[in-house]
Structure 1
Amino acid sequence: MKKKIVAAALCAAMVSSLAACGGSSDSTTAAAAGDTTAAAAAADTTAAAAGDTQAPAAADGVVSVFYYTYGDTYISSVRAALDSALQTAGVEYQDYDSNNSQTTQAEQVDTAIAKGTSLLVVNLVDSGSDDAAKNIISKAEAAGIPVVFFNRSVSEEAVSGYDKAVFVGTDYEMAGHMQGQMIGEYLVENYDAVDLNGDGVISYVMFKGQEGNAEAIARTEFGVSDANTVLEAAGKADLSFYDASNSNLYLVDQDGAWSSAAANNYMQTILSQYSEANGNMIELVIANNDEMAIGAVAALQNGGYNLEDGSSKVIPVFGVDATDAAKDAIGKGTMTGTIKQDADGMANTIAQITQNYLAGADTFNDVDAANVVGTWRVNIPYATYTGEE
């Protein structure tokens, strides 16, 4: 989804109130537009070495952007796109890495407000309840500044209580629905090849990113239930979780990081206990995001499956996000499919809303009206990805 970034007239109007455009990584001051000097790079390196996740003092007018972690591959793609969009718009900004700690993020928000930030853009760490969001909204309202939440779900109740708060995300249930539909259709078309032991039932594992996260809950539920709907319509049996003793019917990343390492460790353990020779091999992998899918693929390759040269059997692996790594794996035939979460579309929408707030324009000016929900939310559409754009 393409969005206008800013009209020339708006840029001119903003020059007097905004400092030179630029972006900074964790713990560096916002640089001038296009600034890639050695001094700026050295500042980045020094700050990173010190482990500092707080930005130094910034001039009034700086937009503060808080990421739940720089380590998430999809979030990294949003960050790169948002940095670029803000630079193009001439908006000075400061990035913060909350390093998957809500306490750290809350402290960073306090610091940014104390330094005179003009606007908060927040990728929440803790989205399991409204508490973190309401706390940030309360601080933003007290300071009289707007707050744009993105990616990790915030409820209408939390956001709509403040007229300068919005959420940019997705209709998160759709990712699960689309993934489930994709999985079901694939299995119907390839059932005999996937059913390794020929028992008429597909054994699967589900990797869940985080407990309490709305996106993870929906993807975990609908990725399976919607696949079963397709299978049932074709006269096939429902999917069967590989471990009958696991009542949750999923394996969760205990760190809430949606990481490839967590899925890889789980999969390595599974493959040491379940095998094709024993007739109980896992025949399908479903992951809440591409990082976990890629971790599972690596473990399968260590076990002699999903090899890039096409010489091995392939256990179908499905994810969500359509990261570059996942698209590369799909192209090589080591991963089967994913649901594209549009990082560029999300970043451009955030940048446009940010400019609207700073310019005193309508909140959703130049935002695709088809994606706007009420007065508080924008949903960026998903798309299925199986190797062709």
Structure 2
Amino acid sequence: MKFKKLSALLLSGAMCLSIAACSGGGETTPAPTTPAESGAPTESGAPAASDLNVAVFYYNYSDAFISNVRNEMDAQFEAIGITPSNYDGNTNQGTQMDQVNTAIANGANVLVVNAVEASADETTQSIVDAAQTAGIPVIFFNREVSDDVVNSYELAAFVGTDPAEAGHMQGELIGNYLVENYDAVDLNGDGVISYVMFKGQENNPEAEYRTQYSVEDANAILEEAGHPALSYYDSAASTQYLVDPNGSWSAAAAQDYMTTILSAYSEANGNMVELVIANNDDMGLGAITALQTAGYNQGVDENGEPLSTNIPVFTVDGLQGIVDAINAGTATGAVGQSASGLASAVVTLVQNYQADGDLMSNTEGMNVDETVAKIRVPYTTVS
């Protein structure tokens, strides 16, 4: 296939907040089906819509953004007459691989995968190999999969974002805000802004790039304005970020971290954390909960005046919870990604496959990488 870089962007849609109840993987494993038995394309053409058996694998239902994607995916598949079978990997790659094999054995003829360990090529390649053996397509989404894995199979594709884009956009938001509000943010008046970074998960491309570029780009803006670079709150730390130990990017992890931090770092001690950077909304909201418990980030009154000292909090995802927090004055800004845009691109590829057996045959108007079947859904800003 030949892929062309196109200038138009996928339209970002509204994000649904309700969480639908979905089924998990089956407990029994019947004999594997052949491509023809599973409804995969044969020499006579692609399967009819009524023959499509779509299995969607999520890394973790409890992830707020993934819950929105699941709601959107369910609704958009239902709109074209497909009821997908959904599986919760529960942040366990072994569980997810078992679910993939079970779904194929049960007759799934389209795999849509939000990989638990997307950065591990051997893991995602195993999923591709299973799809190729069955003669069915696999569409990865949200968590970046390597070009080599996608290019290893004609019926493999990826739908997601540009991992670096969110970091650059977040850094610009942070840098510009600090330049405009430097003295107010610099609580101890030492001329340097101290920050905490909630990274999320190690070795995840989105987490890596958001962590790197949000700080680098903010520093470039600060230094151009004559201010020093950001300073990590704990100068003795071996890494300048905190990760969720369960790999779930959770509010609970960030709240626990922030509560512990605030027991030692405070205005009274002259070392208060003056900026929170979180690589998703949930971790930002968890940090806000801890800040509010300590008397910070109480919002604004009817005249827009702050009710307390507010520590700026910046996040990525832009879901309704953080939008509400921004409107209430308890959060500062966010980079938003579109759950509906992501779901729409996945559903389009499934429709392409149903129409002529080629996932990428109808991708005009989308941002497609030049040398690999990857579609990029753009981010937005919320502030």
The equivalent of 1:270 in structure 2 is 261
Distance 1:290 1:3, change over 3 A: closer
The equivalent of 1:328 in structure 2 is 324
Q: How does 1:1-389 map to 2 (within 5 A)?
A: 1-2=10-11, 25-27=21-23, 53-54=25-26, 61-309=52-300, 310-360=306-356, 362-374=358-370, 375-386=372-383
Q: CA separation in 2, counterparts of 1:367 and 1:114?
A: 30
Q: Report the alpha carbon displacement of residue 322 of structure 1 after superposing the two structures with TM.
A: 0.3
CA contact (8 A) 1:3 1:366 kept: no
What secondary structure, in the 3-state scheme, does the structure 2 residue paired with 1:120 have? strand
Q: CA separation in 2, counterparts of 1:350 and 1:83?
A: 11
Structure with more helix by fraction: 1
- The Cα RMSD (Å) is 1.9
Distance 1:363 1:225, change over 3 A: same
Q: Which moved further from structure 2: 163-172 or 350-359?
A: 350-359
Q: CA separation in 2, counterparts of 1:101 and 1:360?
A: 34
Q: Any gaps of 5 or more consecutive residues in structure 2?
A: 1-9, 14-19, 31-37, 39-50, 301-305
What secondary structure, in the 3-state scheme, does the structure 2 residue paired with 1:65 have? strand
Amino acid at match of 2:342: M
Higher relative contact order (CA 8 A, sep 6+): 2
Q: CA separation in 2, counterparts of 1:76 and 1:270?
A: 29
Amino acid at match of 2:313: V
The equivalent of 2:16 in structure 1 is none
Amino acid at match of 2:194: S
TM-score by length of 2: 0.86
Identity of aligned residues (%): 51
Q: Which moved further from structure 2: 85-94 or 197-206?
A: 85-94
Amino acid at match of 2:348: Q
CA contact (8 A) 1:25 1:94 kept: no
What secondary structure, in the 3-state scheme, does the structure 2 residue paired with 1:273 have? coil
What secondary structure, in the 3-state scheme, does the structure 2 residue paired with 1:319 have? strand
Amino acid at match of 2:375: V
Q: Which moved further from structure 2: 207-216 or 89-98?
A: 89-98
Q: Report the alpha carbon displacement of residue 92 of structure 1 after superposing the two structures with TM.
A: 3.0
Amino acid at match of 2:324: D
Q: Report the alpha carbon displacement of residue 189 of structure 1 after superposing the two structures with TM.
A: 0.2
What secondary structure, in the 3-state scheme, does the structure 1 residue paired with 2:159 have? strand
Q: CA separation in 2, counterparts of 1:217 and 1:150?
A: 18
CA contact (8 A) 2:119 2:146 kept: no
Q: Report the alpha carbon displacement of residue 175 of structure 1 after superposing the two structures with TM.
A: 0.3
What secondary structure, in the 3-state scheme, does the structure 2 residue paired with 1:311 have? coil
Q: Report the alpha carbon displacement of residue 68 of structure 1 after superposing the two structures with TM.
A: 0.4
Q: CA separation in 2, counterparts of 1:363 and 1:283?
A: 47
What secondary structure, in the 3-state scheme, does the structure 1 residue paired with 2:56 have? strand
> Which deviations, in whole Å up to 9, do the C-alpha atoms of 1:311-356 show, x marking residues without a partner?
1010000000001101110110100001011111000110111111
Amino acid at match of 2:261: I
CA contact (8 A) 1:61 1:92 kept: no
Q: CA separation in 1, counterparts of 2:317 and 2:52?
A: 33
Q: Which moved further from structure 2: 362-371 or 280-289?
A: 362-371
What secondary structure, in the 3-state scheme, does the structure 2 residue paired with 1:258 have? coil
